[in-house]
Amino acid sequence: MPRFAANLTMLFNEAPFLDRFERAANAGFDAVEFLFPYAYKVEEIKQRLNDNGLTLILHNLPAGDWDAGERGIACHPDRVEEFKAGVAGAIEYALALGVKQLNCLAGKVPAGVSEAQARETFVSNLTFAAAALKAAGLKLLIEPINTFDIPGFFLNRTAQAAGILAEVGADNLFIQYDIYHAQRMEGELAATVQRYLPLIGHIQLADNPGRNEPGTGEINYPFLFEYLDRIQYSGWIGCEYKPATTTEAGLAWLQRVAQ
């Protein structure tokens, strides 16, 4: 059976962030992930993890001004130094919190920047980040994100991500495969996961349309979960969806998978 982690940015979000750890543990999760830890002290997060017996499996590198609509700066030619400083800060948090992998959001292509410039900057930044994370014993992930939800996002298809991995050539760089984003951009979920399985370091889920919990939309999750077992995907699956009502009310899908 796949191993599921609660994404605390999305789940239990009616509660203050630091209170979501206990809610996740009480709901049966052994692991959590979230977008960013940087608004909190390491000690605060570590205490919540320890108190609730949870493992933190993922957070992102700093991604610019999120509240202002930025969704990453790794493809921005004019913010390379900011990106590099963010890598150092992310490694510090990761080592303190026991995180083994960090996700890098490429960002939206800035006005006046060509696709070629954005790619060159992204590859250069990933080369730097992968080397820094490898020295710390960490994996680096990159995540294709659909351009319906985030117009202009640079990295948006699995094949594109695989090409960038090949160009960077780092053995600790992998794809974060988000089933929801992939369904919106390209479909062919099972065949794509199988094809790129050696390059996939982490999977996330939500149903489509609506980005709600599995079973609320068009994606055949019972088949996919069985399929991931069959092809021997051994990583975590992050539950990064918007609960249709409350998180607890929508967890029947998880109980069915666990049976």
The number of C-alpha atoms within 13 Å of 208 and in the hemisphere containing its C-beta is: 17
Residues 6+ apart with CB under 8 A from 236: 2, 3, 4, 5, 31, 33, 57, 58, 202, 203
Active-site residues: which are they? 143, 240
Q: Rounded to an integer, what is the distance from CA 67 to the centroid of its chain? A: 18
The one-letter amino acid at 58: L
Spatial separation of the C-alpha atoms in residues 115 and 123, rounded to whole Å: 12
